[in-house]
């Protein structure tokens, strides 16, 4: 876990730097433009720093997956999530389905086929991975046993909660740097509602395929719930800070209620004992057998 926490620390620092740049440095160049070497540093940052926090977030997720699950399940999730999300993004930027009509601008690194920055599938991977792992812990904690359907459904929901606070900020016309542009207006703070459907479809698709491939076997090591919440919360905070700088309150509230509160429920109450969760059906079977044994013969 030392490697995972180290990568997370670098990721959190890069997220803080990105938020500070978008909220302070870029809108107010008079604060730093007079410093020696500032124009060169600014040009370098604008060209290379955009995808940095995404790369570090993916590294943190990979390091955690290797520790908690092992390389095979982690790489399965990485491959499935990256491939399916890239395919959906290429489809979306080419046809407008399933996210709506949009296009990526500069700032997130070189683009695959000239349309989708290479960092975008990595973003889908690490946020999807941590959302699924959080969902799996929530299901095991409150249900007492694994459930593929609930893991995928809850994981997709947690992933959507992150988008509720990220999308309105990253494409807002008042943000100093817009990372993608919508070609149509919609009901959710200018964003088309179909985008949320696209997120649900994409998240459910790669989580469902990856979960079916990985299975529900035992983990390599116990889950570190603090790390999962730290990685998830860092990215919710990034979107929340950007929304706050733009005066957008509703997305922050929605993301906290839909995403952070369910994640925090990992620490509410006691874990359900996996053996106790199987008792009702077993007890019912034994009770029925006992009644049948005591029933007098009709002859």
The reply to whether 247 falls in a domain is yes
Residue 282 has pLDDT above 50, yes or no: no
CA dist 86 and 166 (Å) reads 18
Q: Is residue 293 situated within a structural domain?
A: no
Kindly list the distances between the CA atom of residue 234 and the CA atoms of 43, 180, 183, 253, 288, in Å, as whole numbers in the listed order: 26, 21, 29, 16, 52
106 or 157, which is more confident?
157
Q: Is residue 150 situated within a structural domain?
A: yes
Residue 116: φ, ψ to 5°: -120, 120
The pLDDT of residue 291 is above 80: no
Per-residue pLDDT tens over the stretch 106-153: 889 999 999 999 999 999 999 999 999 999 999 988 888 889 999 999
In a domain, 201, yes or no: yes
How far apart, in Å, are the Cα atoms of 101 and each of 82, 87, 185, 194, 235?
21, 16, 9, 10, 25
**34 phi and psi, to 5 degrees?**
-85, -10
The number of domains in the chain is 1
Q: Is residue 102 part of a domain?
A: yes
Residue 100 lies in a domain: yes
Q: Which of 50, 56, 225 lies closest to 133 in space, CA to CA?
A: 225
pTM score, whole prediction: 0.88
* Mean pLDDT within 227-256: 96
Whether 232 has a pLDDT exceeding 50, the answer reads: yes
Residue 29 to residue 20: CA distance in whole angstroms: 12
Domain housing 262: 2-32+39-267
Task: Give a yes or no: residue 290 inside a domain.
Answer: no
Residue 22 lies in a domain: yes
Model confidence pLDDT, tens digit, residues 90-117: 999 999 999 999 999 888 999 999 999 9
Torsion-angle region of 138 (φ positive above 0: left; ψ -120 to 50: alpha; else: beta): alpha
- pLDDT value at position 299? 33
Does residue 121 contact residue 86 with C-beta atoms inside 8 Å? Answer: yes
Query: Residue 271's CB: how many other CB atoms inside 10 A?
Result: 11
**Closest listed residue to residue 61, CA positions, set 146, 179, 53, 109:** 53
Q: What is the structure's pLDDT at 273? A: 55
The sign of the CA dihedral 260, 261, 262, 268 is positive
Of 232 and 186, the one with more pLDDT: 232
Q: What local confidence, expressed as pLDDT, does residue 31 receive?
A: 84
């Amino acid at each position: 876990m030392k490697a995972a926490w180290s990568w997370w620390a670098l990721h959190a620092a890069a997220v803080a730097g990105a938020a500070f740049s978008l909220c302070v440095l870029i809108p107010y160049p008079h604060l730093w433009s007079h410093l020696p070497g500032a124009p060169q540093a600014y040009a370098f940052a604008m060209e290379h720093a955009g995808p940095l926090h995404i790369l570090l977030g993916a590294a943190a997720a990979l390091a955690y997956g290797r520790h908690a699950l092992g390389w095979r399940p982690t790489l399965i999730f990485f491959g499935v999530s990256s491939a399916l999300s890239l395919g959906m993004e290429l489809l979306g930027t080419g046809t407008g389905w399933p996210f709506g009509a949009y296009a990526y601008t500069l700032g997130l690194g070189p683009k695959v086929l000239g349309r989708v920055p290479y960092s975008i599938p990595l973003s889908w991977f690490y946020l999807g991975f941590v959302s699924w792992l959080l969902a799996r812990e929530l299901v095991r904690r409150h249900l007492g046993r694994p459930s593929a359907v609930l893991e995928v459904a809850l994981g997709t929901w947690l992933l959507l909660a992150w988008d509720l606070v990220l999308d309105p900020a990253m494409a807002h016309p008042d943000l100093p740097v817009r990372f993608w542009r919508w070609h149509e207006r919609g009901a959710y703070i200018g964003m088309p509602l179909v985008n949320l459907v696209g997120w649900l479809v994409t998240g459910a698709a790669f989580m469902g395929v990856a979960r079916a491939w990985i299975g529900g076997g035992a983990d390599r090591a116990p889950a570190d719930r603090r790390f999962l919440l730290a990685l998830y919360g860092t990215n919710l905070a990034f979107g929340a800070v950007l929304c706050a700088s733009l005066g957008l309150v509703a997305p922050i509230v929605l993301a906290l209620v839909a995403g952070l509160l369910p994640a925090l429920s990992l620490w509410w109450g006691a874990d359900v004992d996996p053996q106790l969760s199987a008792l009702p059906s077993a007890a019912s079977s034994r009770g029925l057998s006992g009644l049948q044994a005591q029933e007098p013969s009709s002859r």
